[in-house]
A = this chain, B = another copy of it.
């Protein structure tokens, strides 16, 4: 049978340290979902590659892109700028492809506002104590940064009901299975799936 699909804009968010990158990575093998590489002014963490996890840019470049309205969303988070380049996302969606954004809650709320047809997923920690352990375990944050991120997390978790789906990242496999089910279900949503039942 002939069937058409509209691309979906998948927004995955959650507090810093919750593991949204790790959970969302399970969608890497979904070949029809493009990963949107964000721009950031923060320094690369060990193992991060420019153009893969992020485009690492200068503040100057970032500000120029803001002036040129080059971002779908952008935010100042924990002392650094982050933004989603608009054009690759819009081009992919227009071509019927799906796009995955993995962004902070400030940016996610902006996208949900501008693109209400997006699919929004908020990743939660099992507890704030566990979130603290994960932030400390990174060994990339100073103690006062950990406190700041934890405080932000409380505010972000309080807004969890703005998202369509909630996934607790307690066990990684379980969280990934839940995320996959969201993607699979949303592929069957009548607003973006058009199967044509033909005579023969």
By a beta-carbon cutoff of 8 Å, the part of chain A in contact with chain B is 1, 3, 122, 124-129, 157, 160-168, 170, 177-178, 180-182, 184-186, 188-191, 193, 195, 197-200
**CB <8 Å contact, B1 and A197:** no
**CB <8 Å contact, B170 and A190:** no
**CB <8 Å contact, B1 and A198:** no
Q: How many copies does the complex hold?
A: 2
Alpha-carbon distance A195/B197, docked complex (angstroms): 40
Nearest chain B CB to A170 CB, angstrom units:
7
Do most interface residues of chain A lie in helix, strand or loop, or is the interface mixed? Answer: mixed
Closest to A185 in B: B185
Alpha-carbon distance A32/B161, docked complex (angstroms): 24
Nearest chain B CB to A134 CB, angstrom units:
13
**CB <8 Å contact, B190 and A122:** yes
Instruction: Point out the residues of chain B lying under 8 angstroms from A168, CB to CB.
Output: 1, 3, 195
Nearest chain B CB to A20 CB, angstrom units:
14
Closest to A168 in B: B195
Instruction: Point out the residues of chain B lying under 8 angstroms from A164, CB to CB.
Output: 189-190
**CB <8 Å contact, B157 and A197:** yes
- The 3 tightest CB contacts between A and B, nearest first, are A185-B185, A181-B184, A181-B181
Alpha-carbon distance A195/B125, docked complex (angstroms): 10
Instruction: Point out the residues of chain B lying under 8 angstroms from A3, CB to CB.
Output: 168
CB<8 Å pairs between A and B, sample of 5: A166-B189, A166-B193, A177-B184, A178-B184, A182-B188
**CB <8 Å contact, A167 and B188:** yes
Instruction: Point out the residues of chain B lying under 8 angstroms from A162, CB to CB.
Output: 190
Alpha-carbon distance A200/B125, docked complex (angstroms): 11
